[in-house]
Structure 1
Amino acid sequence: MAISKAMIVFPLLCFLFSTISTLSHPNTLVCNKTEKRALLSFKHALFDPAHSLSSWSTHEDCCGWNGVYCHNITGRVIKLDLTNPGSSNFSLGGKVSHVLLQLEFLNYLDLSWNDFEGTPIPSFLGSMRSLTYLDLSYASFGGPIPPQLGNLSNLQHLDLGGGYSFYEPQLYVENLGWITHLSSLEYLSMSEVDLQREVHWLESTSMLSSLSELYLYACELNNMSPSLGYVNFTSLTVLALGLNNFNHEIPNWLFNLSTSRTPLNVLYLPSNQLTGQIPEYLGNLSSLTRLLLYGNRLNGTLPSSLWLLSNLELLFIGNNSLAGTISEVHFNKLSKLKTLDMSSTSLIFKVKSNWVPPFQLEEMWMSSCQMGPNFPTWLETQTSLRYLDISKSGIVDIAPKWFWKWASHIDRLIDLSDNQISGNLSGVLLNNTKIYLSSNCFMGELPRLSPQVSVLDMANNSFSGPISPFLCQKLNGKSNLQTLDMSTNSLSGELSHCWTYWQSLTHLNLGNNNLSGKIPGSMGSLFELEALHLHNNSLSGDIPPSLRNCTSLGLLDLGGNKLSGNLPSWMGETTTLKALRLRSNKLIGNIPPQICQLSSLIILDVANNSLSGTIPKCFNNFSLMATTGTEDDAFSFLELFSFMRKDYENLMLIIKGRESEYGSILKFVRSIDLSSNNLSGSIPTKISSLSRLEFLNLSCNNLMGSIPEKIGRMEALESLDLSRNHLSGEIPPSMTNLSFLSHLNLSYNNFSGRIPSSTQLQTFDAFSYIGNAELCGAPLTKNCTEGEDFQGIDVIDENEEGSEIPWFYIGMGLGFIVGFWGVCVALLFKKAWRHAYFQFLYRVKDWVYVAIAIRLNRLQNNLRVSETHHHLINFCFI
């Protein structure tokens, strides 16, 4: 009996010991063989360029594989987390195999941030009824969301956000009725999924009684049922409906959400088209911690109840048509406020100079909100600020002495631009990450920088003195400066050779200063440089060949200097170059054909130099001028992104005779300006293939020949200037196809014939065609001759009237012979007639002589007047 008891107890002890060991050492688990085979089959169907699933091996237990999690006791696979850790280089792709159905205990599936190239979400996922967590967000799925997902009755978390992708079709929903079956759902995100076909989206989602968070950003929704009095959200705490198309007032039912089991804490409605005033019953949502109404069309004054939301931490009401005056009284109850945005409104922020706010802000966005004219001294009390934007706020004052030392704790962004703030910054140490001081009245020598500064914009101020001390300052560490803009100041001296200190620079603008000397070769060490502006200085010498080392250079502006030498052929090697501006220098020689290698070029401006030779025939290689390019991808170098603001590279271009600054739309501009040089030869016929070119200026050269016959193919042309050349021939009829043309100048050439008739070419005044003596037709006052009118008449059909023409000429010839000899015979035999006839001829001779003399005298006078007039108007825009 004792032996039998031992035989029973011992196995139990072994089982308990093994169970305890398993719980203590989960790595000793052995996964189910069927599930292991299923996972290997799943891997086989995937595309894994980064070998993220390299641990998925037949020799290893699947419970130890990357992204696979097993139950601590049973060893069954319960979680599969294959979210992409970051870079697109790590994205999984391929096919989501149905073998996942063999993972019958799987309750967590995350395939987010991968790239499935627009393939549909597999409908078999709706059969995985154990799932409680499903995340397919930003995985580039496309097409209709399968309604079978409505079978996942245990699902608590569903994220299908990021439905927009580069692939077609975008994720969309025909009907959201299936969502009502997800009775356990607590979290739902379908941001960027196209829901415009579902007009009852609100009714469907509000039936989810357990739903706590709802995110429907950028879903193309256009109706929030403003007339609906009540919705059945009983547990909602977060409602995010930004970036949609709501164009009505804020609905009343939103403010009934205060009575739910967990009252609404977060309300996001930014970037819609909501109208009307912010309702007074906003105060019902007393639990609100975040309110974001930014970027709508809301108007009127702010409701008094807004200032009663004592739990408010984030308030974004900027970029609306709100008005009224805000005083310190309004903030008495907002002691928890950490982020305040009233930017781009007509609000007046008027508080006492000794005000001590009840809050400690971390972010303050007040651009274009009236805060001046005095500097807001209450800022000194805010010691937790990380972002400060008081640009365009009407401040006309001297920055107080305490400001720069106080501002040193603002580690992320400080923006004082577009005010009239003054002060001397000589010796001041700037150490904020992003600093915007442009368009103010700051003066003195340049301040010092700490290594952590990445953006410094001090353009359009009154800084003076030599630039070398700034460039050659010794930093306490390696510089992180990426953007430096000190344009439009009074800086002087030569550019130093200290550029090796600033090798992180990507955007450099020193234009509109008094800099002199040569461009140092050491600037070629700025290997990361994407945009370089040195325009409107007094720089001289050649363009240094070391700039070819700046292999990322996308924009080069050296215009308005005294640079000499040839236009370098090595520029053709900088294949990233998209905007080249060298106008108003002293460059000589030919335009090198190597420049045609710049296939991504969209702006070429070498006007007002002394370039000679012919225009290269290969301009048709500028492919982005010939086709519709992907501007957002191709010109990302033009954009500098920072949190809550975007800056754009800008370029001054002379277009349609006017100098204008192009900023945010620069990436869409297509322009060639070769005017005011000594170019000769003809206009290359292949230039007609530049169908996306918008502005072409070849004026003030020595070009000959005719306008290319197929110029009408340049269908995007808005401005064409060929004036003051030696072009000849007729204006091509194809020019009537230039339907976008709004500026045309063909004056002072040798064009002839009739101006083609069209609704386009006749809209320009006569000055567009003046100075072409042989040109006729509207809008010129000179009518075309009768012979020129015959050019448009059809030839007579020889079958109808051809037989009559020979007899006409025969009769005319006989008549001439008879008349001629009749007169001659009479003059030979009749002396009186003969004397009278020759006296008549002498009188005719005298009359012709006098008439010619008078005409010559008038012509000489006209030429003198014309020459004087020509000198008055013969100018070229420089």
Structure 2
Amino acid sequence: MSINDHKLVRCNEKDKETLSIFKKGINDSYGLISTWSTEKDCCAWKGVSCDNITNRVTKLDLNLERFRTLTGEINMCILELEFLSYLDLSCNDFDVISFTTIQHNITHASNLLYLDLSHNEHSTLQMDNLDWLSPHSSLKYLNLSGIDLHKVTNWLQAVNTLPSLLELQLSHCYLNNFIINPSIQYLNLSSLLTLDLSFNNITSQLPNWFFNLTKDLAYLDLYHNNIHGEIPSSLLNLQNLRYLDLSLNKLQGSLPDGINQLPNIQHLGLYGNLLSGSNIPSTLENLSSLNYLSIGRNNFSGEISENTFSKLSNLDYLVLSRSNFVFQFNLDWVPPFQLQVLSLSNTNQGPNFPSWIYTQKSLQSLFLSSSGISLVDKNKFSSLIEIISDYLDLSNNSLTGDISNLTLKGDTLYLSNNSFTGGLPNISPNASDVDFSYNSFSGSIPHSWKNSKDLRFINLWNNKLSGKVLEHVSDWTQLLFLNLGQNEFSGTIPIKMSQNLYVLILRANQFEGTIPTQLFNQSSLFHLDLANNKLSGSMPKCIYNLTQMITFHFNFYGLTIELFIKGQHYVSKFQSEWRTFDLSGNSLSGEVSLELFRLVQIQSLNLSHNNFNGTIPKEIGGMEHMESLDLSNNKFCGEIPQTMSLLTFLGYLNLSCNNFDGKIPIGTQLQSFNASSYIGNPKLCGAPLNNCTIKEENPKNATPSPENEDDDSIRESLYLGMGVGFAAGFWGICGSLFLIRKWRHACFRFVDGVGDKLYVTLMVKLNSFHRN
């Protein structure tokens, strides 16, 4: 019983001391456990409950999911609370678990029934063993999901010491095996009703004994592991099974005969395996309790027809995507169920939209991408997609028509790669992800979109849209991804945009004016593409706060980006690590800001086809991740800095059509490109161009620079020193000859002797020549 009035209950001093020790390791930024004051009765502390008779702490509930506020250390001394039966520390951000004294201090019979340490959101707690569980044999609920247990090789044996366990949650624990100690004769888990081992790395087969753990098991989740081999026939022993999910593994073979005899099965997930067989349609016919069926992305075959679903009146979730089934439904078939979720993506449904789907009035999510659909009943189709409240994916079909008069209510709307015409449809204020790329939508962005404050992802690439976007963009404060490329939008680039932007693509439109300084203060931005517009002026001279292009510490999930790198166009999925800066094809001028070359994480830099001038700073050598660099068709001048030879990952380079001079720096990378990377620079030489020829310029016509003046001064000093030295040496020797008689006579005799020898040698050569 919970008692909050400390006037009625006085907390046991021993319990109070234990709680105080536990609190010392906790950081609480919101002060939600600030009530834990030693001046107050601990039974009045937040999250603490005491028995009103014994005054002992029986419950500690610090699940603060709304705030996720607690960080620091979980000191497991808390298990020393003798009468504690309920402990929930889940949904926080603890960094470490401490077991310093716990193994030695628990000498009493534990009363703990409920223990939840799961879901620490931003940190991964680790445990090296689970031996500390053994004193808590009364546990009925244990949830360690999200704790790293990869070092625990005997997790199953440790759990075996908990014979009263009803529910075991070990999701996301990095478990990788089912190893059993041979000394254990059997597993004593006969009470277990729920077992969740999803999202681990279990790479073994499913052993036969696994389904003999308990005959009363009702919930079994092995979703997203690497389990291989066949499904053991012992699965059929679980006659009380209501929930079975084996999706996203590597299971092979066919389903065990008799699986249709599991009378209570409601949830069956087999999606994403290597299962085969043609008997699945007939197997499904008798599973009348099913409300969830996901069997796509396998190698099943056979014909799916209305007979398959004739008894499945409870079905509300159906996933048959990426399957090889042959679908044969009568045009007038009305299913006995009303689905909430339907996925038939990557199946052959077309060319007609499946008429039976029009009867589904409760649909919240519809996945029909890449299904060969081109023909629809206009009125029924419009009514259907307007009721979808969650996820609508009709991408990669051949759908046509004008849907501008519709209001789509879905949070996520994917209509890309179709042939829709007319204006854009209205969207819900709750919309978050919108992808209408690769269609023929025209006109401007509807005013109703301005009300969608939660928009995170907008992709309108490659349509015929026009108008100004300023009034809309400034209201999308949660936006992460904005792609308006390949349209006819005009006006200036908005000054006020979401500070959360990761990707901004405005390529190939009619935007004009200058680049706003505020754009370079987007700390999250890692992909900026403003190419092929009518932008003018110079690059902003400011501090570039593009942190994601300086330090690499983020990955954006599920992203599809139009990449123009290495002289080619790529449609890149999940390339969140690619840092791009593209201003090509505009009328920008002036010198490039030095700040740009300090964005060291950039992998693709394209400033081509502008009017930039000035030199390339040596700081470019610090952009060591650069793979694609295009500075062509500008007015850059001066020498190519030697530091460019440090760009060892460079796979594409174009410096052509500028005013570079001097010799191309020697380095393996720069010489690996052919001459086309450098042509159009008349004063540039060196491999792979022609060899350099050194020409002396007339000093009278040359205008000395300050650096040249310094060189000339040094050269003049050198020559002057050499002249003085020569003169001193000459007169030193000659003076000695004239002043010292012996030296003078010896010198004359030497010269005279050399002359005689030369005369004799010459006459001998001449006589020999005449005889011949």
**TM-score computed with the length of structure 2 as normaliser:** 0.78
Give the SS at the match of 1:370: coil
Among 391, 411, 419, the alignment partner of 1:462 is: 419
| Cα distance change, pair 483–449 in 1 and its aligned pair in 2 (3 A) | farther
Match of 1:414 in 2: 366
Give the SS at the match of 1:203: helix
Among 337, 342, 345, the alignment partner of 2:290 is: 337
| Cα distance change, pair 775–492 in 1 and its aligned pair in 2 (3 A) | closer
- Percent identical among aligned pairs is 34
| Cα distance change, pair 769–531 in 1 and its aligned pair in 2 (3 A) | same
Q: Distance in 2 between matches of 1:681 and 1:216?
A: 60
Q: Is residue 139 of structure 1 aligned with residue 63 of structure 2?
A: no
The answer to whether the 8 Å contact 2:412/2:433 transfers is yes
Match of 1:628 in 2: 552
Match of 1:83 in 2: 62
Give the superposition deviation at 1:418: 1.8
Match of 1:488 in 2: 438
Q: How do residues 246-257 of structure 1 correspond to structure 2 at under 5 angstroms?
A: 246-257=202-213
Q: How do residues 61-210 of structure 1 correspond to structure 2 at under 5 angstroms?
A: 67=47, 69-71=49-51, 74=53, 76-84=55-63, 86-88=65-67, 115-119=69-73, 121-146=74-99, 149=102, 151=106, 153-162=109-118, 164-167=120-123, 170-210=124-164
| Cα distance change, pair 51–204 in 1 and its aligned pair in 2 (3 A) | closer
Q: Distance in 2 between matches of 1:561 and 1:450?
A: 23
Give the SS at the match of 1:381: coil
Q: What is the letter of the counterpart of residue 341 of structure 2?
A: Y
Q: What is the letter of the counterpart of residue 251 of structure 2?
A: L
Match of 2:569 in 1: 659
Q: How do residues 808-827 of structure 1 correspond to structure 2 at under 5 angstroms?
A: none
Match of 2:222 in 1: 269
Q: Is residue 216 of structure 1 aligned with residue 216 of structure 2?
A: no
Structure 2 runs not aligned, ≥5 long: 697-714, 731-772
Q: Is residue 31 of structure 1 aligned with residue 8 of structure 2?
A: yes
Q: Distance in 1 between matches of 2:146 and 2:173?
A: 5
Match of 2:525 in 1: 601
Give the superposition deviation at 1:711: 0.6
- Determine which structure has the larger helix proportion and give its number: 1
Match of 2:484 in 1: 558
Give the superposition deviation at 1:36: 9.7
Match of 2:401 in 1: 444
Structure 1 runs not aligned, ≥5 long: 1-22, 89-113, 473-477, 506-526, 633-638, 640-647, 789-794, 811-878
Q: How do residues 343-354 of structure 1 correspond to structure 2 at under 5 angstroms?
A: 343-348=296-301, 350-354=303-307
Q: Distance in 1 between matches of 2:275 and 2:726?
A: 88
Q: What is the letter of the counterpart of residue 168 of structure 2?
A: L
Q: Distance in 2 between matches of 1:227 and 1:357?
A: 47
Give the SS at the match of 2:146: coil
Match of 1:770 in 2: 679
Give the SS at the match of 1:178: helix
Match of 1:16 in 2: none
The answer to whether the 8 Å contact 1:328/1:357 transfers is no
Give the SS at the match of 2:210: helix
RMSD value over aligned CA atoms? 4.1
Number of residue-to-residue matches in the alignment = 692
Deviations 1:565-607 (A, max 9, x none): 5445x34x65344433332233444334343333333222222
Q: Distance in 2 between matches of 1:742 and 1:82?
A: 57
Deviations 1:168-201 (A, max 9, x none): xx43222333323332233322222222222222
Match of 1:818 in 2: none
Give the SS at the match of 2:282: helix
| Cα distance change, pair 487–126 in 1 and its aligned pair in 2 (3 A) | closer
Q: What is the letter of the counterpart of residue 229 of structure 2?
A: G
The answer to whether the 8 Å contact 1:193/1:218 transfers is yes
Give the superposition deviation at 1:332: 4.3
The answer to whether the 8 Å contact 1:604/1:671 transfers is yes
Q: How do residues 349-428 of structure 1 correspond to structure 2 at under 5 angstroms?
A: 350-359=303-312, 360-372=314-326, 374=328, 380-404=334-358, 406-410=359-363, 412-421=364-373, 422-426=375-379, 428=382
Give the SS at the match of 2:544: helix
Q: What is the letter of the counterpart of residue 614 of structure 1?
A: S
Q: What is the letter of the counterpart of residue 660 of structure 1?
A: Y
Q: What is the letter of the counterpart of residue 683 of structure 1?
A: V
Among 603, 609, 628, the alignment partner of 1:694 is: 603
Q: Is residue 431 of structure 1 aligned with residue 387 of structure 2?
A: yes
Among 714, 717, 721, the alignment partner of 2:623 is: 714
Deviations 1:246-269 (A, max 9, x none): 222222331332xx4x53333222
Among 480, 495, 505, the alignment partner of 1:581 is: 505
Q: Is residue 548 of structure 1 aligned with residue 474 of structure 2?
A: yes
| Cα distance change, pair 688–201 in 1 and its aligned pair in 2 (3 A) | same
Q: What is the letter of the counterpart of residue 194 of structure 2?
A: V
Among 639, 642, 657, the alignment partner of 1:733 is: 642
| Cα distance change, pair 558–181 in 1 and its aligned pair in 2 (3 A) | closer
Deviations 1:803-832 (A, max 9, x none): 9x969x99xxxxxxxxxxxxxxxxxxxxxx
Deviations 1:274-306 (A, max 9, x none): 222333443344443222222222233333354
Match of 2:235 in 1: 282
Match of 2:539 in 1: 615
Give the superposition deviation at 1:67: 5.0
| Cα distance change, pair 593–237 in 1 and its aligned pair in 2 (3 A) | closer
Deviations 1:319-366 (A, max 9, x none): 223333344322244232221112332333523454444333221122
Q: Distance in 1 between matches of 2:693 and 2:603?
A: 35
The answer to whether the 8 Å contact 1:31/1:75 transfers is no
Give the superposition deviation at 1:709: 0.9
Q: What is the letter of the counterpart of residue 570 of structure 2?
A: S
Q: What is the letter of the counterpart of residue 488 of structure 1?
A: Y
Give the superposition deviation at 1:696: 0.5
Match of 1:241 in 2: 197
Q: Distance in 1 between matches of 2:92 and 2:512?
A: 55
| Cα distance change, pair 407–289 in 1 and its aligned pair in 2 (3 A) | same
Q: What is the letter of the counterpart of residue 253 of structure 1?
A: W
Match of 1:857 in 2: none
Give the superposition deviation at 1:689: 0.9
| Cα distance change, pair 593–397 in 1 and its aligned pair in 2 (3 A) | closer
Give the superposition deviation at 1:543: 4.9
Q: Distance in 2 between matches of 1:375 and 1:777?
A: 71
Deviations 1:522-580 (A, max 9, x none): xxxxx444444454445556554564344444444333344445445x34x65344433
The answer to whether the 8 Å contact 1:126/1:148 transfers is no
Give the SS at the match of 2:271: coil
Q: Distance in 2 between matches of 1:57 and 1:141?
A: 21
| Cα distance change, pair 446–224 in 1 and its aligned pair in 2 (3 A) | same
Match of 2:690 in 1: 782
User: Which deviates the most, 270-279 or 148-157?
Assistant: 148-157
The answer to whether the 8 Å contact 1:370/1:393 transfers is yes
Q: Distance in 1 between matches of 2:548 and 2:283?
A: 54
Among 160, 179, 187, the alignment partner of 1:232 is: 187
| Cα distance change, pair 783–715 in 1 and its aligned pair in 2 (3 A) | same
The answer to whether the 8 Å contact 2:441/2:465 transfers is no
The answer to whether the 8 Å contact 2:64/2:91 transfers is no
User: Which deviates the most, 58-67 or 437-446?
Assistant: 58-67
Match of 2:733 in 1: none
Deviations 1:733-767 (A, max 9, x none): 22222232222112222333443333433333333
Q: Distance in 1 between matches of 2:115 and 2:331?
A: 46
